[in-house]
Every structure is written in structure tokens, then in C-alpha cells.
Amino acid sequence: MGIHVVTGSASGMGAATAETLREAGHTVIGIDLRDADVTADLGTDEGRAAAISEVLERCAGRLDGVAAVAGVGPSTPNAGTVVSINYFHPVRLLEGLRPALAASGAGRVVVIGSNSSTTVPMIDDRLVELLLVGDEEAAREHARGAQAATPAAVRAASPTISAYATTKFALARWARQTAVTPEWARQGVLLNVIAPGAVVTPLMLAGGRAEDLDTDAFPTPMPLGMFGAPEDVAFWVHQFLRPEARFTTGAILCVDGGTDAAMRPDAQPTAMTV
């Protein structure tokens, strides 16, 4: 059995993932702001450094897997917070833990993206550039400025929807670019992305009630006529973290009840051009 890190382990998909892994016999090191093995604010450099240090001490420098699940949603008031938690939390944490994953000989990593990266037409190209070059302060400043320039009606409905979709888009790009580098691929550290859709979690509800949700009235199509549960995502996280999942890296899996397929039926596959 392995040793796995799960961020956002106190609630939602993170809690479901931690429970799934523990039920399978693994040791889980949960990271969250509260009710976790490691309490840390992953939205700050100090919090990330402290979390990395404590994880490495707990695992003695050898990790079998990481599930970077922690995140905030488009109802978050400050776009800078979205930038730091949704993008720089997984990127910085995984950069710090990569040697421990390589030490296991078969490290597995899953990051949680979102189908918003392909179904929300508000991707900020400049913000993507700043994220991918790793300039956190400039990215935070740009995101806050873009938020202020967003029409008031959009901000009222979803204050940071552009920053949310863009950070998830950039995270998927980072994962695909990183997964195939020698430092990851040739060290046996596999890196994949799960892009959930409408999964009923505290993040999705944002203070509302699950019983008030209606798939037929939802802003995006729900072909299965049902919303996802945290366990639906945890199942696939577990599959990607298994040692047997040895020939998959740089993949993005939509776990969204068919929403992306319904909205963009011809988007995949995309033919290569020369």
C-alpha cells in the first residue's frame, strides 16, 4: 500500500478522495486549512513551503501519489485568490514534492481541473501567459484588473468566473507540458488531469441547497439528467493513482456527465496540421 497526499481533504471531492484511498488501504496525508493532517494555507508561498516540508517529514522523502484537489470556485470574491489557490497551489506544491514522487519509482499525480476550461467562453489569454511563466504577483494583479473590468451583471452572478475558468485552463496546459518532460516522464512520475463538471460540493453550492438544484434549469446541458457526487470524481482519481496506471500521462479526463461533449461535440479529436 502507498502513501498519498490529498489537498483539500477536509471537504468535497478532497474528502471523498481521501476516504477512497484509505478504504483501499493507503496512508493518506491530508492538507487543508482545518481538520487535516497538515494544516496550511496553500494560497501563499509560506503555506506551500510549510506543507511541503511537513509532508516530506511525514513520508520520509518517498511518496506514491498526490491528488491536488483543493480549489475555490467562481463565487470567490477576489480573483487574486482564485489565481493563487487554483493554479499556484498545485504547481508549486507538485514542484516541491516531485523528488519524493520520483523516489518511489512509480509516482502518480492527479490535478483537478474543470470542464469550465472548455465550456466557459471567458478564457483570458494574457492571464494564461502570466500563469504559465510562473509570475504569481503579476497574474494576481492582472486577474483583479480584469475582474473589475467585467460587466457588473456578470460579476453579480459569478464574481470570478473568468479567473476560475482561466486558471483551470492554464493548469491543464501546465500539466500536459510538464508531464512529458524528462524530469517527470523518465523518472516514472505520471501527471494527469481530471476535469469535473457539475459536482455537488460545498464549492458548487456556495451556500445554496442541493435540493434546489435542477438539471433541466442548469446553465449548461446535463445529458445524464443528474449531477455528480464527490465519489464520482474520487473513483477516477483512485484509478489514475494506481501503480497499474503506468501508460497514461498528460491526459485530461472529463468527469462531467457529458456536458463538454454536448456543448462541443466536434471539438475532440482535433486533427494535427503540418
Confidence at 207, pLDDT banded by 50, 70, 90:
low
| 210 pLDDT higher than 80 | no
Average pLDDT, the chain: 96
- Where along the chain do its domains lie? 3-263
| 204 pLDDT higher than 90 | no
Question: What's the CATH architecture for 3-263?
Answer: 3-Layer(aba) Sandwich (3.40)
pLDDT at position 21: 98
* Euclidean distance between the first and the last CA atom of the chain, given in angstroms as a whole number: 46
Return the active site residues: 164
Q: What average pLDDT does the segment 21-31 reach? A: 98
Confidence at 156, pLDDT banded by 50, 70, 90:
very high
CB 126 within 8 A of CB 83: no
Alpha helices in the chain (DSSP H): 12-23, 45-59, 79-82, 89-103, 116-119, 125-132, 136-149, 152-157, 161-179, 182-185, 202-205, 230-241, 259-263
Confidence at 203, pLDDT banded by 50, 70, 90:
confident
Range of lowest pLDDT (130-139, 149-158, 232-241): 149-158
CA distances from 255 to 100, 114, 180, 182, 258 (A): 28, 9, 23, 28, 8
